[in-house]
Structure 1
Amino acid sequence: MEIYQLRTFVTVAQQGHLTQAAEQLHLSQPAVTAQIKALEEEVGMPLFERTAGGVTLTRAGQELLPQAQGILAGARDLINHARGLKGQLSGKAQIGVTLTPDLLRIGPWVSALTQRYPLLDLRLHHRVTGDVLNLVRKKELDGGFYLGKNPYVNVNTVLLAQLPFRIALPTAWAGKVDFGQPRDLGKLPWVGISQFSSISKITAELWRELNIAPKKVAECDHLDAIRELVIAGVGLALVREEEALALEAAGRVVLVPGLVKLAELQFVHPSDRGGDPILQALLTELAHCWQMSVPQG
């Protein structure tokens, strides 16, 4: 029995699908299938059964999964301890960045990391929020900032803040809406948001809450561009409250009074990186910047 076979077993169990597990492990599906088959032959019983939507654990698989996870955790602890024996923290960290740097407190965070860990090779990559989460899930990023709810069991999250958003509409449209009747908002066009942006999911949640299904125009995935499209009279959109209030004060948009939509700003990282010294350094300095207790990787 090999460590890589156990890693494949755990990944397939988490994903519930051979193709998705293969994608995360950077293997072909036949290779994943072969590893699972070899492991099943070694333990002498089937670990998965196929379903219409993928695979599920057999009773034996359910019994063995916690032990497999424990063995993998022990292997990670051994590697992390060995790295610690080498002395000063070094290595590469690929981080996904979204929204705006000031909102994420990127400057103070990176400054603290580079001063305390001069051998740490920190790489920042700007992405749409949905891309950040997906790349962390596939372990192509070591961590990143994400806006919204995390649906993946193999991704851990650290809640940084609850960001308020407001519904902004062009100033010329104020007379077209009865703010006492929120369903009137469904009669006007909204700026379309790319499905890869978390704002799309947050907007969809708001529509369900208001029981509306507006027409979408001019799809976009950039927050600054969305704001400009509202100002230009293209449609309504959610805008971060701080920016929305400033635009309203300048007479550039009108805000729907009393309606606030909260979105979770989180730092996300792969769940199997527990104890990794680089991840722990990232989380420690992040906690200092956000004045919160230090989360454990």
Structure 2
Amino acid sequence: MDLNQLKSFVAVAHQQNLTQAAETLHLSQPAVSAQIKALEKNLDVQLFDRNAQGMSLTSAGKVLLPRAETMLQQMHHLDSFAQSIKNDFHLQSKVGIIQMLPVPFLTECVGILQTEFPHIHQSFSLGLSGIILNQVKQRELTGGFFVGDNPYRNVHTVDIMPLKFEVVMAQKWLGHFENNQKAMQQLPWISLSAFSALTRFTQKIWRQWKVTPTTALQCDDMYALLNLVEAGHGVALLPSHYLDVHAQRDAIVRLPEIQLTEMLSFIYAIDLEQDPIIEAWKHTLAKVTQRIEQM
């Protein structure tokens, strides 16, 4: 057996689907299928039951999975250590951040990381939640921040704090708004792209109110989005902490009847569980979260 066979085995075990596993590994489906068959032949045991719904682990596969995961984690840990030696003992951390991440939280994290883990070079890239989730899943990012429910079994989630979201509108519209289904249906909304967490949350609110409003325009930047709301171009859903800092209180109205709460999390690929960078981030997140809870 070789590492590529183990990687294919673990990927298929998590995805329960050859096509999705192949996408995760950046390989063709026949290549992944061949590696699984080679591993089963080498071990002389069937690891998967194949059916119309996909592939599920046999009893032997279930026994092998945790050992294979441990071996891959140890190999990744060794690769990271070897890379750190190559780079004069400096590890490279690539983390995706989202616009709705509270700035003080990130500042505190960086302070701890620089003090306690100076050998890790931190690099941050701004993106939308859905894109960051896929980049973490594909191992293009070491980790990232995400809001909402994580749909992937091969991506781990560390809960940080709940974030509240509110619907806001221009002050001049308040006299025309009534807290009922008809009014919600008639409001023009400012939409966001499909990769934005705010899109999913807005659609959740629409489902709660059983409405399908029209969208006046689309904007993925929260700063521009708030300015558009203040100018009366539409209503939108925004994080409460962002509104506390940036909203002009005399220009908009925050609707307490229309809000929801979602969890802010840090995400990383499951096979990075023992990675030194992820361990540093988990340690840091625990310290900062504890400080927040004590406030």
Q: TM-score scaled by structure 2?
A: 0.86
Identify which of 56, 61, 64 aligns with 1:64: 61
**Distance in 2 of aligned mates of 1:119 and 1:24:** 29
Q: Please tell me the residue identity of whatever aligns with 1:47.
A: F
In the other structure, the counterpart of 1:215 is 214
In the other structure, the counterpart of 2:132 is 132
User: Do the aligned residues in 2 keep the contact of 1:248 with 1:255 (CA within 8 Å)?
Assistant: no
| Deviations 1:54-110 (CA, angstroms, capped at 9, x unpaired) | x2226x3x5413423323314524764897899997421110011256436222212
SS of the aligned residue for 2:118 comes to coil
| Deviations 1:208-257 (CA, angstroms, capped at 9, x unpaired) | 11111111121122222221221122211112223435677621111223
Q: Please tell me the residue identity of whatever aligns with 1:125.
A: S
Q: What does 1:261-280 correspond to in 2, within 5 Å?
A: 261-280=260-279
% identical equivalent positions = 30
User: Do the aligned residues in 2 keep the contact of 1:158 with 1:268 (CA within 8 Å)?
Assistant: yes
In the other structure, the counterpart of 2:10 is 10
Correspondence 1:73 to 2:74? no
In the other structure, the counterpart of 1:47 is 48
**Distance in 2 of aligned mates of 1:46 and 1:286:** 37
Q: Please tell me the residue identity of whatever aligns with 2:119.
A: L
SS of the aligned residue for 2:290 comes to coil
User: Do the aligned residues in 2 keep the contact of 1:171 with 1:253 (CA within 8 Å)?
Assistant: yes
Aligned length, in residue pairs: 288
RMSD of equivalent CA atoms: 2.8
Unaligned runs of 5+ in 1: none
**Distance in 2 of aligned mates of 1:104 and 1:138:** 29
Change (3 A) 1:278 1:249: closer
**Distance in 2 of aligned mates of 1:21 and 1:281:** 28
In the other structure, the counterpart of 1:253 is 252
Correspondence 1:232 to 2:231? yes
- Deviation of 1:46 after TM superposition, in Å, equals 6.6
**Distance in 2 of aligned mates of 1:94 and 1:111:** 16
Unaligned runs of 5+ in 2: none
- Deviation of 1:200 after TM superposition, in Å, equals 0.6
**Distance in 1 of aligned mates of 2:270 and 2:291:** 20
Q: TM-score scaled by structure 1?
A: 0.86
**Distance in 2 of aligned mates of 1:246 and 1:197:** 21
